[in-house]
């Protein structure tokens, strides 16, 4: 049986898709890139924001055009039960629904179809592990880099966020399982692992292993780079960041969503920290680690946001000059507390504010990239560009995450999947342009910036 799988949303969904394909292959299925030739069509859904859910709906509608005969269409992953919708009636072209964490049941469903055994349309998760097949899954990323999910769900109660409703309370993977996975990835040639969790510093496995202890064990596998996603600012201090950065393989890169600069609105968001805490935290991290790259996110137009509070946010972004910043116009997500708050900001004003803040960040990002001019950086080469006249390769230095933060375009001798040391000659808002330093190809494994 042939399976065509489409992944939408974040890297956490991609890991689930990788595990799903591995389980299906073990059950005798083949992966099929052409939906017209597949027997089973699967969409791994995202419903974090309404726009993401609409993309999911449109993708299932598109794939439904390929249905004929006994072909099945399955929607799995982040199903929006928090929206109060009747999915079975609102998406009649979908044959079966499989909620997040239930990917291990898909091979069982395939076997039932082959045996003509009836199945309910919405298949429950059952007792299977949310982390089934994670240790030895096949990769959908380039062969030298991989995402490693260390926990699922979230215990925070942010009033704007639907993730706890979609993915449930946080469940941390056993540290032994994670280390075995990274050991296997290193043996397969993976040079970089990106550790994923919604609130990664809250990681604690059933034996009591904390996140910094997990990182030390992962570093002992010999993997060259370790990247961390996502660090919640609440309760975080410089001392704990130093513990995270203690292993030399850990990239001096923090993905730390701040969300706003108004203490009043942070309280309304239930973020459990103040502007003063964030200012002290960012300043302290930069004092301790001058080479650190910090990426953050801001929500514009949260209910009750005043003009003065938006101006304060603009000043905050100017003053703290994040290396990168995701600007998100607020949208009320059904089931979240904030969706019922008074003081809604008009949609047109939200859009204007988002555009204005993005323009301020663009200048900050340009300056942040410019500080690397004339520096020699270690670059992990991701791909050949095919450009004979210009840079022949594209990769990333420690301050760039895959498909998020731009690239380093490299001229000179290099191989995809290897590290090169390259001197930066030019920069723009997102990217850097560099030339390989002769006789310094691929010899160093530390993510040190120099």
- The closest alpha carbon to 77, from 29, 45, 47, belongs to 45
**292 and 417 inside one domain:** no
Tokens 């929607």 belong to: 75
End residue of a domain, out of 310, 334, 368: 368
**385 and 256 inside one domain:** no
**205 and 313 inside one domain:** yes
pLDDT attached to residue 69: 86
**40 and 174 inside one domain:** no
**290 and 150 inside one domain:** yes
pLDDT attached to residue 125: 80
Burial 290-309 (b: 16+ CB within 10 A, else e): ebbbbbbbbbbbbbbbeeeb
**383 and 234 inside one domain:** no
**351 and 395 inside one domain:** no
- The closest alpha carbon to 18, from 185, 177, 186, belongs to 185
Q: Which residues of the chain have pLDDT under 50?
A: 442-450
Residue 35 sits in a domain whose CATH number is 3.40.50.12160
pLDDT attached to residue 171: 95
**24 and 78 inside one domain:** yes
**331 and 382 inside one domain:** no
pLDDT attached to residue 90: 87
Tokens 């910090």 belong to: 294
pLDDT attached to residue 84: 52
Residue 347 sits in a domain whose CATH number is 3.80.30.20
Full domain range(s) for residue 77 = 2-114
- Identify whether 47 is part of a domain: yes
- The closest alpha carbon to 46, from 6, 102, 18, 87, belongs to 6
pLDDT attached to residue 440: 57
**271 and 203 inside one domain:** yes
pLDDT attached to residue 87: 82
**Cis amide linkage into residue 142, ω under 30° from 0:** no
**156 and 66 inside one domain:** no
**298 and 399 inside one domain:** no
Residue 384 sits in a domain whose CATH number is 2.40.50.140
The CA distance from 100 to 121, in Å, is 15
- Identify whether 122 is part of a domain: no
End residue of a domain, out of 328, 345, 368: 368
224: left (phi over 0), alpha (psi -120 to 50) or beta: alpha
Tokens 């609440």 belong to: 234
Number of domains in the chain: 3
pLDDT attached to residue 192: 98
Return the structure tokens found at 95.
């044959």
pLDDT tens digits for range 50-91: 888 899 999 999 999 999 888 999 999 988 765 556 788 889
- Identify whether 176 is part of a domain: yes
Residue 132 CA, chain-centre distance (Å), reads 19
- Identify whether 125 is part of a domain: no
């Amino acid at each position: 049986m042939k399976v065509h799988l489409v992944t939408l949303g974040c890297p956490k969904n991609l890991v689930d898709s990788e595990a799903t394909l591995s389980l299906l292959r073990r059950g005798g299925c083949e992966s099929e890139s052409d939906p017209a030739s597949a027997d089973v069509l699967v969409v791994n859904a995202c419903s974090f924001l309404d726009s993401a859910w609409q993309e999911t709906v449109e993708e299932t509608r598109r794939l439904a055009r390929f249905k004929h005969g006994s072909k099945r269409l399955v929607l799995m992953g982040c199903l929006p039960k928090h929206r109060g919708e009747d999915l079975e009636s609102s998406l009649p072209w979908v044959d079966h629904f499989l909620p997040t964490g239930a990917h291990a049941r898909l091979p069982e469903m395939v076997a039932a179809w082959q045996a003509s055994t009836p199945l309910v349309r919405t298949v429950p998760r059952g007792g299977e592990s949310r982390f089934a097949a994670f240790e030895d899954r096949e990769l959908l990323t380039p062969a030298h880099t991989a995402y490693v999910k260390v926990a699922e769900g979230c215990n925070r109660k942010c009033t704007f966020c639907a993730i706890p409703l979609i993915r449930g309370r946080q469940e941390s993977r056993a540290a032994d399982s994670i280390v075995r996975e990274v050991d296997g990835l290193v043996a397969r040639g993976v040079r970089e692992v990106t550790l994923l969790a919604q609130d990664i510093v809250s990681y604690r496995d059933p034996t009591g292993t904390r996140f910094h202890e997990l990182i030390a064990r992962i570093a002992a596998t010999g993997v060259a780079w370790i990247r961390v996603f996502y660090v919640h600012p609440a309760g975080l201090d410089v001392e704990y960041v130093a513990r995270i950065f203690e292993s030399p393989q850990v990239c001096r890169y923090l993905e730390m969503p701040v969300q706003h600069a108004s203490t009043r609105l942070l309280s309304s968001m239930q973020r459990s920290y103040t502007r003063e805490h964030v200012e002290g935290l960012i300043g302290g991290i930069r004092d301790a680690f001058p080479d650190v790259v910090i990426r953050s996110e801001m929500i514009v137009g949260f209910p009750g946001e005043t003009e003065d509070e938006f101006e304060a946010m603009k000043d905050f972004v100017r003053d703290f000059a994040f290396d990168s910043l995701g600007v998100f116009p607020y949208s009320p997500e059904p089931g979240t507390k904030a969706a019922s708050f008074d003081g809604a900001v008009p949609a047109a004003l939200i859009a204007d504010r988002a555009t204005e803040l993005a323009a301020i960040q663009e200048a900050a990002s340009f300056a942040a990239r410019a500080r690397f001019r004339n520096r020699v950086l270690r670059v992990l080469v991701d791909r050949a560009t095919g450009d004979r006249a210009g840079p022949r390769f594209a990769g990333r230095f420690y301050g760039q995450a895959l498909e998020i933060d731009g690239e380093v375009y490299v001229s000179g001798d290099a191989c995809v999947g290897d590290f090169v040391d390259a001197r930066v000659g030019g920069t723009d808002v997102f990217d850097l342009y560099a030339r390989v330093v002769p006789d310094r190809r691929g010899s160093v494994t530390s993510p040190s910036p120099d």
